[in-house]
Structure formats: C-alpha cells, structure tokens
Chains A and B, each alone.
Chain A
Amino acid sequence: MTQLLLFNLFNGLIIGAFYALMALGLSLILNLSGVINFAHGGFLAIGGYLAYMLIPYIGFWGALAVAPVLTAGLGLVVERVLIRPLYGRDPLYSLLLTFGLAFILEDGTRYIWGPATLPFAVPGWLSSPLSNTLFFLTGYRMFMVALVVVAVIGLFLILNRTRLGMRIRAGTLDLETVSVLGVNTRILRNLNFGLGIYLAGLAGVLAAGMLGLQPTIGSTLIMPSFVAIIIGGLGSLPGTLLGGLLIGVASGVTTVFFPSASEAVIYVIMGLVLPVRPRGLLGEEGRF
C-alpha cells in the first residue's frame, strides 16, 4: 500500500511537472498578451513529433535540444501572421482563432504521422529502474523531473536577470508604459510568445518519452494546464507552478483510492479554491 501510494505520489509529481511546464508557457502568453492559447497543446504535439523525426539523425539529446527551438520558431511565425492582428480586439477573437488552430494542428499531426501511438525511444540507460524496491523510479522519470526543474529555474532567471525578461515582466503590469519608454512591444510580444511555445515544445519531447506519441496528446494535457493556472492564480508564474504540481499530486493520490475520479478531482479542487480565493492561490488582488 505504501509502495502504491508512493508510486502514485511520484507519478503525480511528474505529471504535475508536465502540467506546470505547459501552464507556465500558457501563463506567459496570457499575462503579456491577454491571449488564451488553445493551440498550446497542438504545439506540444508538434514538439514531440519533431523530436521523433530528428532522433534517427541527431539522437535523443540532439532532438531534445533542437525540436523545442523549431517549435518555438513555428510559434513566432504563427504569432506574427495570425495573432498579432487580433491584439486590441475582444479576447473572444484570439480565443476562437487559437481554438481553430488547435483543430488544425491536431488534425495535421494525424494526417502526417498517422493516428496510431508511435514508440518514442529514449536512451537505454535512462529507461532502466534505479532500484529494485522502488521499481517506478526509472532514470527517465528522474531525468524528466530534473529537466523540468532546470527549465523552470532557467525561465525565472530569464525573467529576473535579463533585459528581455525585465521587459516582459514590466509589460505584464503595464504594456502601454513600456511602449512609451521606447520598447518595441510588437517584438516583445512576439518573443514572449516564442518563449511560451518553446516550453510547450520541451514539454512535448518529454511527454512523448513517457506517454508515447499520439495526435491527441496535446488536447489531453491542455485542460489540466488551464486548471493549474486558475488554481495558482492568473498573473502569477509561481502560482502556476504551484497549481500544476498540486493538481498533479492530487490526481496521483486519487488514482490510488478512486481511480475513475482521477481526472475530475482537479476540477473539484478548483471548485473549492474559487469561492475562497477567486483570484487563485497566489494571484494578485484586482488584476482580473
């Protein structure tokens, strides 16, 4: 029982790390541009499939490095061509556009790579268990947690230590003032979108190694990411991180006791948090 609980707790933590990685990208875009990116899951899938294509040529590590960058490049183009014209309009329109885009990306991946789950090879030494008693602690899972930690630290370093990050944070608070101070906010929003999509691509490569690749991988992961943002608090990246880990662990633990409710439980948590704290756990008062 303890082992089962530990297993699901750890599993939940990993899933939570995924949710957090994806939700952080969504949050970045939402905070600066006010766009709910429904297509985030589609970009995640693209990241995974690109890595799948690249592995035979440049190996797992090369693909891990390159695929998210290519995905981010696609994100930059999409932002420039499709989303930029919608800034300043009712958020309804960007929501509908990314919604349609999510359909196109999911169907496109299905068209190109087929509906079946593709095997995604990770290096052999990563996939063996680290110890006999704790069979679930495979190297890949440990590696994944480590990589998410590195990515999150990297993101916070970018936001807090670089000029770009400073501008993104300032723009989140007051984009108009940032613009008046001589920052090109079009480029800022573009780069910020790319950064968010980079995180989606990275999550895609990691998710592919753990769950296998299928076209619906994105749409199954996107809803919990929304919930993570809402629970953590809109406008707060640490909140998003906390929200992701929280719902991951919660659904992991629920799997032990009541498996069929493992998806619904995260919405129950949201229903409990909202009446008490409408702005989310770490959200700022009055921003939304």
Chain B
Amino acid sequence: MNTFGKRAADIAVWLLLLSMPYWLNWIGGYTSLGSRVLVLALAAMSLNFLLGFTGVLSFGHAAYFGLGVYGAALTIKYLTPSTLAGIAVGVIAGTVAAAIIGALIVRLRGIYFAMVTIAFGQVFYFIAYRWNSVTGGDDGLSGWQRLPIDLGFTTVDILGNDKAFYYLVLACFAIAVAIMAALLRSPFGRTLLAIRENERRARFLGIPVDRHIWLSWVISCLFVSLAGTLYAFLNNFADPHDLRWDQSGDFVIMAVLGGMRVFWGPLIGAAIFVVLQDYISSETANWMSFIGLFFVLVVLFFPRGVLGLIQRRAAP
C-alpha cells in the first residue's frame, strides 16, 4: 500500500473509533461492547508488537494482562480509591514481572519459548486462584468499582457515564498505539524487523539480539498490562480466568485473525472475535466448541488474516 493509502486508512480508523459510541447502538451494539473491543484490541496489538514485528511467539501474555487486572483491582479495594493509581500499580506490576521473567527466558527460541511462556503464565493464575483471602480465589475479586477521575479543574465521571469511560479507554489506547507505532518506525523498530526476518544475520551485524528481544518483550507486556487495568475497570471485577492460558490463546487468535504483519490487524481481529463471542455465548451453552472450531477454521483457511489478505490482493 502506498503512503497516501496508509495515511487515509489511519485517519479512517481514528474517525471510526472516535465516533463509535454514536453509531454502535444503531447497528445493535452497546457502548461497553465498544470499550471491550478497544481494550482487547490494545492487548492484541501489544502482543503483536512481539509476535508480528519481532517474530517471537509468546503464548503467555494473559499473565501480564491479568497482573494489570489484579493490580488495579487490589489497589482500589485495599490501598486507595483512585482509578489512576490503579492503572499505575497494575502497569508497574505487569512490567516488573515481565522484566524478571523475560530475563530468564530471553535466550530460548521458537516453540521452546512459547512453551515456557505458557508455563510461567500459570504461576500467577494459581496465585490468584489459591490466595483466597486477598484475591477472592475462584470467585474473583468484586466489591470495588472504578471511580470518577478528578482532574483538578473538572471531574470525569467514568463510573456513571459509559461514554466517558469509552473515551478514557480510547485515550489510553491512542497513547499506547502511538508509542508503539513510533517505536516501530524508529531504528529500534527496524532492528526488531531485522531480527524477525533473519536473526542470524542480525547477530552477525553486531546487533545484541537477546537484549532487543527482551526490550520488545517488556514493551509488549507493559501495554498488555495497561490493557489489563482497563479491562478490570470495564468489568468492575477481577476474574482469575483473565490470567489463564485460554486468555493468552484469545489474544493470539485475535492477532492472527486480523493479520499479524499489519499494524491495525489485531484491532480488526479483536472486533470480530469480541462480537462473535458476544453473539455465540448468548445463543448457546456450548460456546466453547464454537470458539474452538473458529480457531481451527482460521488456522486452516485464513492464516494470513483479514488485513493480510486484503493487502495481498492490493499489492500486484
């Protein structure tokens, strides 16, 4: 796609997202569904920073998403009733955990890396599941809610007003996405692409590959935990299943479904996935089978994803 086309696509995406609360109801949606799409899209795009643009397969991103969820929830419930403090604590918790675990696993590659990320992800699940007195165990953590944000000159009522909350999510989404896009355009991002395309050659060029992968991993987990904090506020609830390996799989399928090699791909993937899941789980109790079947069909018939397919058609 040429530069003009890309610019037009970017503008179209932002216009659609900015106006979403005003047209979503017309087509049978509701505002919090829009927020859900945005939050999960942020998670999937953060994962894709690592998966699609660094070429590293992580199947354990739910752990850092979940740390964001629980970091935010526990802060509001036990420490201080402040939405912004919740976001800060959740992001720090997820990023620090990712930095430590990343240092342990950064030398591993391919399926070995994937397996270790899956396994490490489960640690936090079991902690949330077992530490009943603090995390609420299997029942999840409720009895708290997001709170209006006091900006000094005015108060934003994100609790009572779904649209206000949507725009908070959109603001966080925009900041995170802009940072990731800028990083990918920078020499650092180009280096990540080089590692994806040919790791050995990158190494021969003197690029410290492990350090770059570690950085990419930490950045990716940072934004995933940001998505996690927003997800906690969206539901006003922390669920241990947000930390489990099936959640990680959901993020990966969103990225693949939308198109891993395209920046906006995971956004499309998340939109399709969330709408489909919303519809199926309201229609049948056997939604797990349908989601599973959906995974199988995407892999067999749609491996390039929606945008990947369109881009291939457009390019001669």
- The answer to whether B14 has its CB under 8 Å from any CB of chain A is no
Complex-state Cα separation, A230 to B286, whole angstroms: 33
Complex-state Cα separation, A234 to B109, whole angstroms: 12
Q: Total number of A-B contacts with CB less than 8 angstroms?
A: 120
Which residue among B127, B130, B289 has the maximum number of chain A CB atoms within 10 Å of its CB? B289
Q: Do B115 and A85 touch (CB < 8 A)?
A: no
Task: List the B residue with the shortest CB-CB distance to A235.
Answer: B112
Q: Do B114 and A100 touch (CB < 8 A)?
A: no
A81, chain B: closest CB distance, angstroms: 10
- The answer to whether A120 has its CB under 8 Å from any CB of chain B is no
Interface size class of B (residues with CB under 8 A): 35 or more
A contact residues around B295 at 8 Å (CB): 96-97, 99-101, 103
Q: A107-B289, A111-B289, A263-B126 are in contact. Are A100 and B296 (CB under 8 A)?
A: yes
B112, chain A: closest CB distance, angstroms: 4
- The answer to whether A92 has its CB under 8 Å from any CB of chain B is yes
Which A residues between 113 and 135 are near B, CB-CB below 8 angstroms?
none
Q: Do A104 and B293 touch (CB < 8 A)?
A: yes
Q: A96-B253, A100-B295, A271-B104 are in contact. Are A288 and B288 (CB under 8 A)?
A: no
Q: Do B292 and A223 touch (CB < 8 A)?
A: no
A contact residues around B130 at 8 Å (CB): 260-261, 263-264
Q: Do A100 and B126 touch (CB < 8 A)?
A: no
**B21-35 near A? 1/0 per residue, CB < 8 Å:** 000000000000000
Among B4-12, B164-172, B298-306, the stretch in contact with A: B298-306
Complex-state Cα separation, A288 to B105, whole angstroms: 12
A contact residues around B292 at 8 Å (CB): 99-104, 107
Which B residues between 279 and 300 are near A, CB-CB below 8 angstroms?
286, 288-289, 291-296, 298-300
Which A residues between 238 and 261 are near B, CB-CB below 8 angstroms?
260-261
Q: Do B118 and A97 touch (CB < 8 A)?
A: no
Q: What DSSP secondary structure best describes chain B's contact surface?
A: helix
Task: List the A residue with the shortest CB-CB distance to B299.
Answer: A97
**A81-98 near B? 1/0 per residue, CB < 8 Å:** 010011001111111110
- The answer to whether B131 has its CB under 8 Å from any CB of chain A is yes
Interface size class of A (residues with CB under 8 A): 35 or more
A contact residues around B51 at 8 Å (CB): 92
Q: A100-B295, A260-B130, A261-B130 are in contact. Are A234 and B300 (CB under 8 A)?
A: no
B48, chain A: closest CB distance, angstroms: 12
Question: Of B109, B288, B298, which is within 8 A of A106 by CB?
Answer: B288
Other contacts beyond A95-B57, A230-B119, A270-B116: 17, CB < 8 A: A34-B111, A82-B300, A92-B252, A93-B256, A93-B299, A97-B295, A97-B296, A100-B292, A102-B292, A103-B295, A107-B289, A107-B292, A111-B289, A230-B116, A274-B105, A288-B108, A288-B112
B-side residues, CB < 8 A to A, are: 51, 57, 59, 104-105, 107-112, 114-116, 118-120, 122-123, 126-127, 130-131, 245-246, 249, 252-253, 256, 286, 288-289, 291-296, 298-300, 303
A-side residues, CB < 8 A to B, are: 30, 34, 36, 82, 85-86, 89-97, 99-104, 106-108, 111, 223, 226-227, 229-230, 234, 260-261, 263-264, 267-268, 270-271, 274-275, 278, 288
